[in-house]
Homo-oligomer: A and B are copies of this chain.
Amino acid sequence: MPVSERVAALETRRPKRADAARNFDALVAAGRAAFAEQGSAASLDDIARRAGVGIGTLYRNFPTRDDLIETLYLGEVDALADAADEVAELEPWAALRAWLDRFVAYVGTKHALLDGLNRESTVLGECRAIMLSAGEPLLVRAQAAGEVASDVTIGDVVKLVSGVAAVAYEDAAQRDRVLNLAINAIRL
């Protein structure tokens, strides 16, 4: 099943009545903005206010805080899966490396994604799986080209890189140094 379909299958949340769909979209937009600004501590009351709907409406669409986060997360996973296609024409190692860099950059701005990566949840698990299957061909190709150890899995690589990407560094130079260290660790 292609990625787009797998993502669509998870998007069953969006209601069909015109007003409800409008509110759903407003909530997602407000949620995205709030989490970007205030990190994972964003207040749901505040998100409802920004979206111009009552708190009740927020909770009807997203019964728990995690439900909302899951929906936001879905969009980000989607973007990451697209990135895997975009780098497909590069040389094997360069392609994998470029995707991982993209992953790191993405994770840096959207910190909520990282929290999600470690969280327990059916939807989030499926998201993780979607992302891993987007990256896997890149890893396999690099392994086939003899550039990466054959005993690492895409799951290992993502855990490694996401762990390193989550840390707060002194400065950009240290960040790059450590990130290089980590990514080169899988290289033969």
Contact = CB atoms under 8 A, between A and B. Distances in A.
Copies in the complex: 2
Interface residues of A, number: 24
A181 B186 contact: yes
With a 10 A CB-CB cut-off, give which of A152, A178, A181 has the most chain B CB atoms: A178
Nearest to A118: B168
Interface stretch (A29-37, A73-81, A157-165): A157-165
Given A152-B177, A159-B169, A163-B166, 17 more contacts: A117-B167, A118-B168, A155-B170, A156-B177, A159-B164, A159-B174, A159-B178, A160-B181, A160-B182, A163-B163, A163-B165, A163-B167, A163-B178, A163-B182, A166-B167, A181-B186, A184-B185
Interface of A: 117-118, 152, 155-156, 159-160, 162-170, 174, 177-178, 181-182, 184-186
